[in-house]
Amino acid sequence: MTNAERDAWALFRYRLISPLLDPAVSAADRAAYWAFLRDHPPTTPDGQVWVPSSRSIQRYCAAYRAGGLDALRPQRRRDHGTRRAFSDPLWVQAVALKREVPERSADQVYLVKRKSPVWSKKIPQGVGNFLFDEKGPQGRGLRGLWHHKGGHHRGASP
């Protein structure tokens, strides 16, 4: 998420809570505002219509009171920029298999590695998109798709 997107989310959250920040707002006015939000759900910065829960509104109010507008910005993940689906050694092994036989599909790489006793315990269920193309295994411009649901692999032959 870019800084501009994080700023847009902070402003969106502030817009949601701003009527509630005044200490003079009565409980009846708060209830009326929450009913309004349920009846007229706002559109998030990414274009989704979202009905905020009262807990979300309370969290945003508490965050704003504690840290101002900056506290309403979404925080970066601690693991931002790191591969989460596979550890580096597993990724290196998968890349080596693909380079060994470039025609090998991502499904075939997955099946070969899935049969390995070391890999089979470390591959997360429902891996999703593990893909390759000529640009390399860096996560950009990747092609192909692994389908793994309940131990069944579609469209793959070892």
Residue 149 maps to a domain: yes
Cα angle 129, 130, 132; round to 5:
120
In the chain, what percentage of residues exceed pLDDT 70?
Answer: 65
pLDDT of residue 85: 64
The residue out of 16, 40, 72 marking a domain boundary is 72
Instruction: Answer yes or no: do 66 and 18 share one domain.
Output: yes
Residues 65 and 93 in one domain: no
- 44's CB contacts (< 8 A; 6+ apart) are 9, 12, 50
Residue 71 pLDDT more than 70?
A: yes
Is 20 a domain residue? yes
Same-domain status, 62 and 102: no
The whole-chain average pLDDT of the chain stands at 75
Residues 11 and 63 in one domain: yes
The answer to whether residue 130 sits within a structural domain is yes
Q: Check whether 94 has a pLDDT greater than 80.
A: no
Nearest CA to 13 among 80, 65, 78, 91?
A: 65
Residue 145 placed within a domain: yes
The predicted-structure confidence for 110-155, as pLDDT tens digits, reads as follows: 777 666 655 555 555 444 334 443 444 444 433 433 333 344 434 4
Domain that holds residue 39: 3-72
pLDDT value at residue 147: 36
Residues 54 and 93 in one domain: no
Q: Note whether residue 158 is domain-resident.
A: no
> Is the per-residue pLDDT at 75 higher than 80?
yes
Question: Which of the listed residues 72, 101, 128 is the one where a domain comes to its end?
Answer: 72
For residues 80-107, average pLDDT: 74
**Considering the domain boundaries, does residue 79 fall inside one?**
no
Q: Would residue 62 count as lying in a domain?
A: yes
Task: Report the number of distinct structural domains present in the chain.
Answer: 2
**pLDDT band at residue 4, thresholds of 50, 70 and 90?**
very high
Answer whether 64's CB lies under 8 Å from 9's CB: no
Which of 23, 41, 72 corresponds to the end of one domain?
A: 72
Read off the amino acid at residue 31: A
Query: Does the pLDDT value for residue 43 go beyond 90?
Result: yes
